[in-house]
Amino acid sequence: MGKSSKDKRDAYYRLAKEQGWRARSAFKLLQLDEEFDLFNGVTRVVDLCAAPGSWSQVLSRVLIQGQQVGRAAWEDKRYKELLRLRQQGSIVDDSEEEAPTEAKPRKDVKIVAIDLQPMSPLEGITCLKADITHSSTIPLLLQALDPDYDPTSSSIEASSPVDLVLSDGAPDVTGLHDLDIYVQSQLLWAALNLALCVLRPGGKFVAKIFRGKDVDLLYAQLKVVFQSVTVAKPRSSRASSVEAFIVCTNFQPPKGFKASLDNPLGAGRRLEQSSSTHDNLNGSPRTVRDDGIVELDMDTQSAEDAASDRQGLADRSTRWIAPFLACGDLSAFDADASHKLPEGHVSLDPIQPPTAPPYKRALEERKKMGGAYGKVKGAG
């Protein structure tokens, strides 16, 4: 395939190169921000599993440089034009024309990016090469946020200095779906455990999640410690992908709960459910929305004629389906669509080449021997 075919197939890949992002995932965070106003009042952020660093780049541009990055930069003009022509006479939502709020660099911004993989430095961001599952990472992190932090005297709870914890981490999937979902959930638990240690009450937590089997167990656990939990899918994330983002706001640690990486939540330890995870099913199950769609609020878990068919102890605990929200305006580029390239389009090189895979050496060896590595039909 030619160099520009990926540009056509994936508008965000092309835009990321044009706008200088290290990876197309930058748009996922930007679109999440559009919907949730994630950076409002935020100055202290921890970016977990940060490499290659596109989310840190977003943080840097928004918080440090005070840039207005957002929809205006990548709005798809063609869409609006077509819609206008077709729906002449009908009401066009002109809220999009509102003037953007003024942006400026913020004061006392502290951003720490953590990954086990090396990451190219970014101005104003402290990069830590550390293991997010390890308890010794927390004092390192706190010290990076406040250089005068004294690990021997300060207690974690007392400082609780972070407004927002982000994690875009995902494992290399194996194709064995239940194992992949398990490993991703472990990564989410690791990020959450760390967030619980450093987040201030009222703080926010945003992490990648695989929407798969038993994801409702994870949602229910998150709902115990955050007032609002939403599963969000940015338009820049492909519809064919299991990936979504869990956006948790207003951190409210339960009374008596003590976070610790030495006794993490996850495999064995779980949070006690509170009544807050139960949705209020009172009132009419049918509501007519403003757009005329009739929404039917009903119990979709327990069927008429079946007992529970889940054996695990945890699996019988509370499940809860977080509300879903698609992010990014519909006028944004569609990650699944093929796009016509603008006239005179020049395909750019990626800002940062992808991280070397562990099989890089195998590729080189095979190339030396003249083999068409990875091109074998059915094996790729």
Partner 1 sequence: MLEHVHHRVPVTALSFHRRDHVILAGHGNLLRGYDIDTGQILTNLKVFDDQAVHGILVTPDEDVLLVWGGRLVRKLNGHSISTYRPSNVYEARDWILDAALSPEDDCIAFVDAHNALTICNIRDLSAEDDGSTKPLATAVPSSNCILYSAHVTWLSGSQCLIASGTAFGDVMLWSASISRIADGSFTAVAQTHYTFSAHEGSVFGVQLSSKQQARRLGDGCDCLLASCSDDRQVKVWDVSDRFTNSHSLPQIQRDTGFGSKPEAEEHAPPCLAAAMGHVSRIWKIRFCDHDAQKGVEIMSFGEDASNILWSVKPDSEPGNQPFALKQVGVQNAHAGKQIWSVAAAEDGCFATGGADGAIAIHHAPNLPAEPSEIDRKMLEPGDNIRYYAFFNQGAMLATTDSGSVWTLQLGAAGTSSAREVLPALPALRGYSVVASISRLAFLAGSAGIVYMYNANTNKLTSVADCGKKVTGLFVSSHEKSHSVRLVDLLITTVGQSDPCYMRFVRDAISTAEYVSPREDHQPSLPIPEGFSITSFTTMEHAQPCIHLTLVGARNGSIAICNTSSDGHDGLIKLLPNVHGKEAVTALLWRSHGNKPTTLSGYLHSLGKDGTHAVHNIRRHDQKWEIELIHQLGLPFGPNIEGLTILPNDHLLIWGFRGKAFIVYDADAEQETMTVACGGAHRNFAFQPSVEGGTFVWTKASKIYQHMQTRRPYTLITPGDHGREIKAVSVSSTEDMQIFATGAEDTNIKLSTFDEKDGFRCVQTLRRHNTGIQHLCWSSACRYLFSSGGFEEFYVWRVTTGVPVLGGVGVVCESVHPNSGKSDLRILGFDISETRQKGVFDIVLAYSDSTLKQWSYDIGTWSLVSTIDYLTACLTEVFHTSGHVITTATDGHLALWDTEASASSLTWRTRHRTHQNAILGVAFRELHDRSSLVFTAGDDNAIGITRIEQCGAVRALLIPRAHTAAVTAVAVVPSDTDRNTLLLLSASIDQRVKLWTVSIDVTEPGVDGVHVKLQRNVATSVADVSSLALCRLAGDEGVGCVVCRVGMEIWRIGGGIRDTYLSRVSDEVIRE
368 is a site residue for partner 1 (CB under 8 A): no
Instruction: Find the binding residues for partner 1 in span 160-199 (CB under 8 A).
Output: 171-172, 174-179, 182-183, 186
91 is a site residue for partner 1 (CB under 8 A): no
Pull the structure tokens for residue 41: 């009042």
Tell which one of 317, 336, 350, 352 touches partner 1 (CB under 8 A).
336
Q: Contact, 45 vs 129, CB < 8 A?
A: no
Q: Exposed, middle or buried: residue 22 (CB in 10 Å: 0-12, 13-18, 19+)?
A: buried
Sheet holding 199-210, edge to edge: 125-129, 110-115, 44-48, 162-167, 199-210, 243-251, 226-234, 324-327
98 is a site residue for partner 1 (CB under 8 A): no
CB of 16 to partner 1, least distance (A): 18
292 is a site residue for partner 1 (CB under 8 A): yes
- Which residues, other chains included, contact 113 with Cβ-Cβ below 8 Å and sequence gap of 6+? 46, 47, 50, 53, 56, 119, 122, 125, 126, 127, 128
Interface mask toward partner 1 for 132-161; x: CB under 8 A: -xx-xx--x---------------------
Our CB check for partner 1 shows the closer of 20 and 285 to be 285
Residue 208 known to be catalytic: yes
55 is in an annotated binding site: yes
115 is in an annotated binding site: yes
Tell which one of 272, 303, 368, 370 touches partner 1 (CB under 8 A).
303
Give, for 32, the enclosing helix (H) or strand (E): helix 26-36
Q: How many CB atoms lie within 10 A of CB 87?
A: 10
168 is in an annotated binding site: yes
247 is a site residue for partner 1 (CB under 8 A): no
Label residue 344 left, alpha or beta by phi (over 0 means left) and psi (-120 to 50 means alpha). Answer: left
Q: Which stretch binds partner 1 (CB under 8 A): 13-21, 92-100, 199-207, 262-270?
A: 262-270
Phi and psi torsions of 110, nearest 5°: -130, 120
Our CB check for partner 1 shows the closer of 92 and 267 to be 267
Instruction: Find the binding residues for partner 1 in span 19-58 (CB under 8 A).
Output: none
Tell which one of 120, 227, 301, 355 touches partner 1 (CB under 8 A).
301
Q: Exposed, middle or buried: residue 203 (CB in 10 Å: 0-12, 13-18, 19+)?
A: buried
10 is in an annotated binding site: no
Q: Contact, 155 vs 138, CB < 8 A?
A: no
Our CB check for partner 1 shows the closer of 342 and 378 to be 378
The annotated binding site for S-adenosyl-L-methionine is made up of 53, 55, 115, 131, 168
List active site positions. Answer: 208
